[in-house]
Structure 1
Amino acid sequence: MPAYGAERKGTALTDRQRLAWLRLIRSDNVGPVTFRHLINHFGTAQAAIEALPELSRRGGSPRPIRIASLSEAEREMETAARAGARFIGLGEPDYPPALRQIDGAPPLLAAKGRLDAATTPSLGIVGARNASANGMKFAAMIAREAGRAGYVVTSGLARGIDTAAHRATLATGTIAAMAGGLDKPYPPENIGLLDEITEGQGLAISEMPFGWEPRARDFPRRNRLIAGIALGVVVVEAAVRSGSLITARLAADFGRLVFATPGSPFDPRSEGTNNLLKQGATVTTAASDVLDALAPLSRFDLFSPHEIDEPPREQAETRPDAPSDRDRATLIEALSFSPTDVDDIVRHTGLSAAAVHLALLELDLAGRLQRHSGGRVSLVERT
């Protein structure tokens, strides 16, 4: 099985570009999708930063947008360096190839540990925090066999199944995707495990700033990282309402394989996995069920990445014309509080795609737009 690391592709950011990227993604109302659209419109992160105040004003923001300062970005870079971490940009050689493929991939990942783990084919393993002894034993067995076959195992550093999967692959390579900053692991009881991962053959990654305490709404973003990095995700035990099922759903959305371990219908921890099997997940009772299915996918060239192509040297870009007030009003009238496909908006309004995307950026940066999966958008109800 070829290792991704042997065929890494991409262009490294300059120090100046990396600082500008960090400033842009840390500014208010700039998420991964907005970041990509800004770069596409303005060519460079620095040009996008300079455009933010005017874009936000045109979008109807009642107050000036907060833009991360150069000193803030420099401090975060320094904090990362002191912690032995670095920031990997989307499109750089060390960025996980499968994650690069998805819509809304994080423009920057904070990473600590062995960077070659990020470019090795990965299997995600997730499951219940209150896992059974048999569940943890089975997760460890699948993880161990995957590691021996050359895969890095990605999980979320949680109690239970995640912990078992990480511990089983400390010697072969594991990735811990984190909901908070790299210096704020959760749960605290796994701080020692995180150290073993980053000081050994593994890697810890996060899209959140250093010092960020994880909140409930941050864990789905962590689950998105797991689903995006992995070629497939194994769910060992999961209740009906669990983060593991969010990971499985995201994996299916990304075109990844979803595996589930059947369990007793009397055990609530198996209700979620049994439901996944009813929905078409691959029945998993042995490591071979997973490894045989993954083998055809473990080629670097299968992925057609969404690149953010910033020129190696910062240069002035020709900025697109701003939408007129009339065009902006037409666009807002076409939007609703329910998600609408952007292509449908273009067809409905008769506006050019460039005008629609720029007007949506204005609303987004003003905090008036919400972006959804599949390229859909909706208005945000003002309180």
Structure 2
Amino acid sequence: MADVEPQTDRIDRLRLIRTPRIGPVSYVQLIRRFGSAGEALRALPDLAGRGGGRAPAIPDRGLAERELAQAARLGARHVMLGDADYPALLARLDDAPPVFTARGDLALARRPCVAMVGARNASAAGCRFARTLAHALAEAGFGVVSGLARGIDTAAHLGSLEGGTIAVIAGGIDIVYPPENAELQQRIAGEGLLIAEMPPGVEPRARHFPHRNRIIAGLAAGTVVVEAAPRSGSLITARLAGEAGREVMAVPGSPLDARAQGCNLLIREGATLIQSADDVIEALGPIDRRMVRAPGLSYQPEPAQEASDAERDKVRRLLGPVPVGVDEIVRQSGVAAATVQTVLLELELGGMLERHAGGRVSLAA
């Protein structure tokens, strides 16, 4: 591709990911197909038209510039997929965030990291254990990642604050949630690392927390769950860790305590039972050095796999309101995988497709 001014390219990348209907998967597909964010932005109207819809509204350059300036005023900066200091393990997720905002010491994310999550309404014993475990892991050289929620998350951050803690929040980098953790959030930004995928100024919403959870799991070689109900965000984080090929660990508890049911269920399903920091260290074992080298984001355009009308029809007929795996669509349609991905990208940009966890897709509601 033609040379692009670095700052212009960063602004274009920010404009691309802030464009409606473009998520982490479609962002990477567009970059790889067109070689630059600028070329991808120019191609959006045509791709959306092939998908049966209107082109999404693309943010102008001024909006992206103001977001970058706002982050700088907050003492934060944008880290983009493909940057040299983008965390390597996080980059290996299929839906790695194309950009996030960071305050603090980004070098902490280059350490071997352990995620610790658990119940918001945690017991006193659970919080004490989480704090002790996090402190021991940080002393052993691990970064401890959590979500700055009440209960276990807060205990994990407090235990690892002096040794190295990383907080991933669901809102913008300048938004405090929950309010009682305002001082802790400020301390983490100054002494540890604070990460937010949402733009500055965005208040956390329920739909943001699963996205935050994938980052928590993605930064770490393994996730430890300390107290969790059977249906909880902590178990979602553990599932995401397992799907990413990371170690899933859980602290057992009394069957009489509802807060222990999720952890006991994870152990029954094969999670490693954790009673001490030594158990965590043993479960993770030596870190494969290949995992701490970030895969590159290719900026060489790949040959486009254009779809015929017949191939588009085959793919569309297999889609419905129930999410289905992309691999299953490839198998049943008989259409080449790259061509299926092209059709799905067109449908997504046209507002006709939704992507779900685990590489599944459905027609938009």
TM-score > 0.5 by shorter chain: yes
Provide the residue aligned with 2:350 in structure 1.
Answer: 366
Structure 1: stretches of 5+ with no match in the other structure? 1-12, 312-316
Give, in whole Å, the separation in 2 of the partners of 1:258 and 1:148.
21
Measured after TM superposition, the shift of residue 335 of structure 1 is: 2.6
Give, in whole Å, the separation in 1 of the partners of 2:238 and 2:327.
28
Q: Work out which of the residue numbers 5, 21, 25 in structure 2 matches 1:29.
A: 21
Provide the residue aligned with 2:85 in structure 1.
Answer: 94
Alpha-carbon spacing, 1:351–1:166, altered in 2? closer, same or farther (3 Å): same
- Say which SS state the counterpart of residue 264 (structure 1) adopts: coil
- Say which SS state the counterpart of residue 216 (structure 1) adopts: coil
The 5-angstrom pairing of residues 280-295 of structure 1 reads 280-295=270-285
Alpha-carbon spacing, 1:318–1:254, altered in 2? closer, same or farther (3 Å): closer
Give, in whole Å, the separation in 2 of the partners of 1:155 and 1:38.
31
Q: Is the 8 A contact 1:23 1:73 kept in 2?
A: yes
Give, in whole Å, the separation in 1 of the partners of 2:332 and 2:254.
51
Q: What per-residue deviation string (whole Å, max 9, x for no partner) do you get for residues 171-195 of structure 1?
A: 1111100111111121011111011
Q: What per-residue deviation string (whole Å, max 9, x for no partner) do you get for residues 76-96 of structure 1?
A: 000001011111111222111
Q: Is the 8 A contact 1:182 1:206 kept in 2?
A: yes
Q: Work out which of the residue numbers 184, 198, 211 in structure 1 matches 2:201.
A: 211
Q: Is the 8 A contact 1:103 1:306 kept in 2?
A: no
Alpha-carbon spacing, 1:308–1:163, altered in 2? closer, same or farther (3 Å): same
Measured after TM superposition, the shift of residue 48 of structure 1 is: 0.5
Provide the residue aligned with 2:299 in structure 1.
Answer: 310
Q: What per-residue deviation string (whole Å, max 9, x for no partner) do you get for residues 132-164 of structure 1?
A: 111111001110111011001000000111111
Give, in whole Å, the separation in 1 of the partners of 2:364 and 2:295.
27
Give, in whole Å, the separation in 1 of the partners of 2:357 and 2:173.
26
Measured after TM superposition, the shift of residue 319 of structure 1 is: 7.2
Q: Work out which of the residue numbers 128, 148, 151 in structure 1 matches 2:142.
A: 151
Give, in whole Å, the separation in 2 of the partners of 1:101 and 1:349.
28
Q: Which moved more, 1:186-195 or 1:324-333?
A: 324-333
Q: Is the 8 A contact 2:87 2:294 kept in 1?
A: no
- Say which SS state the counterpart of residue 310 (structure 1) adopts: coil
Measured after TM superposition, the shift of residue 211 of structure 1 is: 0.9
Q: Work out which of the residue numbers 160, 165, 182 in structure 2 matches 1:191.
A: 182
Provide the residue aligned with 1:68 in structure 2.
Answer: 59
Measured after TM superposition, the shift of residue 268 of structure 1 is: 1.2
Letter in 1 for 2:239: R
Q: Work out which of the residue numbers 33, 43, 59 in structure 2 matches 1:41.
A: 33
Letter in 2 for 1:308: L
Q: Is the 8 A contact 2:88 2:293 kept in 1?
A: no
Percent identity of equivalent pairs: 50
Give, in whole Å, the separation in 2 of the partners of 1:147 and 1:320.
46
Provide the residue aligned with 2:107 in structure 1.
Answer: 116
Provide the residue aligned with 2:248 in structure 1.
Answer: 258
- Say which SS state the counterpart of residue 130 (structure 1) adopts: coil
Provide the residue aligned with 2:258 in structure 1.
Answer: 268
Q: Is the 8 A contact 1:101 1:303 kept in 2?
A: no
Q: Is the 8 A contact 2:81 2:99 kept in 1?
A: yes
Structure 2: stretches of 5+ with no match in the other structure? none
Measured after TM superposition, the shift of residue 352 of structure 1 is: 4.0
Q: What per-residue deviation string (whole Å, max 9, x for no partner) do you get for residues 293-346 of structure 1?
A: 2232x24323575532226xxxxx687375343432232123333333434434
Give, in whole Å, the separation in 2 of the partners of 1:120 and 1:127.
22
TM-score (norm 2): 0.93
- Say which SS state the counterpart of residue 131 (structure 2) adopts: helix
Provide the residue aligned with 1:5 in structure 2.
Answer: none
Provide the residue aligned with 1:342 in structure 2.
Answer: 326
Measured after TM superposition, the shift of residue 235 of structure 1 is: 0.8
TM-score (norm 1): 0.89
